[in-house]
Structure 1
């Protein structure tokens, strides 16, 4: 039975039965039916042309829409991108970092945002790399190269097992060491040894965080960061002077935790120019008052302890009366 189109009111004839299942027509009936089909085809084509034209008009109207956010100057959009990207809460000293995938998401909104995101070095120079499985070395080079000459703030979580599988990753990061500004590592001694190429290649490094999980495996001190001419801020976790060699004399800010009091005082004896000292958990049953004093600690302007323990408080009292 014929029906009408709800859009244009055109009468639509029922579709003829398939030749395979309909009754065989005579020659005369076939000749009579062919023109009828031609009319239906012409009517269907006209309806299709009408729908296509309407679809084109709708698309043109959509394309003509100007979204206010897309009319902002590129400089303002760039600043908004930098402000709104979330930062990880895991690394708080001295900076928080963005997860690797966040800047990549901006490029999935529209072509303009992708172009802007790829052109902002500040979106790519603060990266937290939790390397739980081997990522693409090409991806690392692509992301870090977008930072151009902008100083890099990086934090790397490298598993302590299967270090050989991560050497290409570490080498990729090492190739950008001349632009490192704030860098942290949570890994093993063996993974740091794979970064031997950064020695004397750290002209911009200002702050460093080291958390090595296998310090007892040490044979020789790590000297990778010994030649960092402007390094002044260091955060050490479970590390002492026999584990890592640093430019101790030039350090002004030291955050140190999870050490015995004897190891801690050994580090403080190497840092005569400290102005800020942050002490985390310290342990030992050493009699503090029998330890050698460090007169330079009297000039430290700011000392905190977190988390606070009774032994930490006693140690702070010991420092203050030196």
Structure 2
């Protein structure tokens, strides 16, 4: 019995060994195929490793210039995060991240939002992000666009970098002056929109020294409540009602560019004093009701470009008469005249050319 069992075991072992040899015979060609495929893969990988994507061969300063072209033109700030932000460029690859972080000019325009005490958590999170941008901007002059300041002011890190502010656009709610507590030695361009509750008389908001300021944009309330170094401005944009500008314009003796967005007049102005702007070269009056006395109060002998809405001049022949009176009073030599007119006929357009033959370029926009 034992010998029979041994014989059975011997046969079974022989069968299993035969099976193994058979499997090995099947594996052998598969291993050869696998080896050949691995060699082919390695060869392809070597070629891929040797390939340089053209964009990755560009010098870092060229890549940075491309990055800058994807952002809004300075001084307009990009969003802090997401599409259109340099933070998204820094997430494409390690090389691009190194380039983005190495060039402070990508981070020099900061969009700041200041929220109320009730939103402190969100504000503190954003403050951390703003602080990161400020760190990456190194010593670059800064463009700062900021939102509402409320009575529950949550300070932004950008307030600690006033000495680097180059361009500031700010909307202020309430008679706050803490934003302007220190000198602004680099500030050249300023936009202020001021909201004051009710109609009480507020004291003038003090402004710090701004020796380089040359461009400003303000609406009526800001004109009445903020004192700027008017005499050093060369470019000024005013939004609101003309009476609010009467105390400012005589002080802007060095203006080269003036743009007025005029609302309707709900007060009687009376006699308008003459306002000499002897260096003014370009005047833009975007909108406003017919008020020729205001236009003719300006004495602008250096003016060569005028953009104006026809409704401000008066209808039809009245508009030509107003312009003739203005040019004669100012003793200016207009070179370019742009008029916005609704529904002007061809004959009416031709009448401007006939009335002003000395003006080399006359454009009537009827859109």
Q: Are residues 1:122 and 2:105 paired?
A: yes
Q: Is the 8 A contact 1:226 1:247 kept in 2?
A: no
How far apart, in 2, do the equivalents of 1:85 and 1:240 lie? 30
- Deviation per CA, 1:164-211, whole angstroms, max 9, x where unpaired? 2x4222xx1111111111111123135x53425x422x1100010001
Q: Are residues 1:73 and 2:59 paired?
A: yes
How far apart, in 2, do the equivalents of 1:245 and 1:199 lie? 15
| Structure 2 residue aligned with 1:278 | 259
- Deviation per CA, 1:216-271, whole angstroms, max 9, x where unpaired? 57733222x3311111111002334441121222122111111x322111111332
| Structure 1 residue aligned with 2:215 | 233
CA, structure 1 residues 226+248, in 2 after alignment: closer, same or farther (shift >3 Å)?
farther
How do 1:88-237 residues align onto structure 2 when only pairs under 5 Å count?
Answer: 95-101=75-81, 102-130=85-113, 134=123, 135-158=125-148, 161=150, 163-164=151-152, 166-169=153-156, 172-189=157-174, 192-196=176-180, 198-200=181-183, 202-214=184-196, 216=198, 219-223=202-206, 225-237=207-219
CA, structure 1 residues 285+239, in 2 after alignment: closer, same or farther (shift >3 Å)?
closer
Q: Is the 8 A contact 1:218 1:243 kept in 2?
A: no
How far apart, in 2, do the equivalents of 1:118 and 1:56 lie? 35
Decide which moves more: 75-84 or 108-117: 75-84
> Structure 1: which 5+ residue stretches go unaligned?
1-28, 88-93
Q: Please state whether the residue corresponding to 1:290 is helix, strand or coil.
A: coil
Q: Is the 8 A contact 1:184 1:209 kept in 2?
A: yes
How far apart, in 1, do the equivalents of 2:290 and 2:61 lie? 52
TM-score normalised to structure 2 length: 0.63
TM-score normalised to structure 1 length: 0.70
CA, structure 1 residues 241+131, in 2 after alignment: closer, same or farther (shift >3 Å)?
closer
How far apart, in 2, do the equivalents of 1:57 and 1:156 lie? 56
Larger Rg: 2
| Structure 2 residue aligned with 1:268 | 249
How far apart, in 2, do the equivalents of 1:220 and 1:114 lie? 49
Greater RCO (CA < 8 Å, at least 6 residues apart): 1
| Structure 2 residue aligned with 1:310 | 289
Number of aligned residue pairs: 276
How far apart, in 2, do the equivalents of 1:65 and 1:250 lie? 58
Q: Is the 8 A contact 2:144 2:165 kept in 1?
A: yes
> Structure 2: which 5+ residue stretches go unaligned?
1-11, 116-121, 300-328, 331-367
Question: Offset of 1:131 from its aligned partner?
Answer: 5.3
CA RMSD of aligned residues (A): 3.7
| Structure 1 residue aligned with 2:225 | 243
Q: Is the 8 A contact 1:226 1:245 kept in 2?
A: no
Q: Is the 8 A contact 1:275 1:302 kept in 2?
A: yes
Question: Offset of 1:143 from its aligned partner?
Answer: 0.5
CA, structure 1 residues 235+244, in 2 after alignment: closer, same or farther (shift >3 Å)?
same
Q: Is the 8 A contact 1:189 1:218 kept in 2?
A: no
How far apart, in 1, do the equivalents of 2:147 and 2:127 lie? 15
Question: Offset of 1:288 from its aligned partner?
Answer: 5.2
How do 1:8-47 residues align onto structure 2 when only pairs under 5 Å count?
Answer: none
- Deviation per CA, 1:254-308, whole angstroms, max 9, x where unpaired? 11111x32211111133222222111123325555613322x22442211012x2
Q: Is the 8 A contact 1:234 1:255 kept in 2?
A: yes
Q: Is the 8 A contact 1:99 1:128 kept in 2?
A: yes
Q: Please state whether the residue corresponding to 2:137 is helix, strand or coil.
A: coil
Decide which moves more: 55-64 or 244-253: 55-64
- Deviation per CA, 1:65-86, whole angstroms, max 9, x where unpaired? 3211000111111111112224
